[in-house]
Amino acid sequence: MNNLIEIGKKYPSNKNRFGFIQIYEKYFNDIRNDKINILEIGIDKGDSLRIWRDYFPNAKICGVDIVKKDFKIDGVDFFFGDQSDEIFLKTIIDKFNSFDIIIDDGSHISKHIISSFNYLYPYLNNNGLYIVEDLQTSYIPRYGGSRLKLNKFNTSMNFLKRLTDCINYEQNDRPFYEKNKFDGMIKYVHFYQNIVFVKKEASKKYYHPNKKQKSFINSIKKLFSKVFY
């Protein structure tokens, strides 16, 4: 049985040219024969979907694009719409219920990446992977990024980097930490050049009980932290 790299050579996907296939092999090898659901945003000419179809024999695969395609791929369902439209995304969830792998290779626009992640991550199964490709666009203005202000709040890279706070925050003095809705839902965030892998799994919680957070002293400490830190 061919490995992912060999299968990738059959199709001219840019995942080969960018070196993503070699990285995917590390994460996908152990689940290759599992019965899983895969969602990829961004169909292009369909080559990456053909790679997944050949590699995952027991998977149900869904491809999403804003531009309607005039071709079909055996064993792959197509949906056409805006990846940032929650009503559209709900039609996909209504059919598949949840996914084990979600790959965002869509518009590469920061606000679209963030919107899709916020909606779809709750429908990623435990131990699932959420992958975002082509993160270099986070530094390009027309995609909502910035070449000069690397800490610009609403870029895809800074959104994804903040996810690491969900598993790495102050253990003993939590008043300075602002709770994120993904706390306790992320096992790791692995960055490579222009691609990230987010693993969904319950993470150990070190933060203090909420009753301490509501104390008067901690409210004062939080106020001072916003002003002086």
- Residues with a catalytic annotation lie at 108
* Contact (Cβ atoms closer than 8 angstroms) between residue 201 and residue 156: no
* Contact (Cβ atoms closer than 8 angstroms) between residue 148 and residue 104: no
3-class DSSP state of 37: strand
d(CA 127, CA 194): 22
d(CA 205, CA 200): 15
**Residue for token pair 């959420």:** 130
Residue 187 CA: distances (Å) to CA of 7, 46, 122, 191, 203? 29, 31, 14, 13, 6
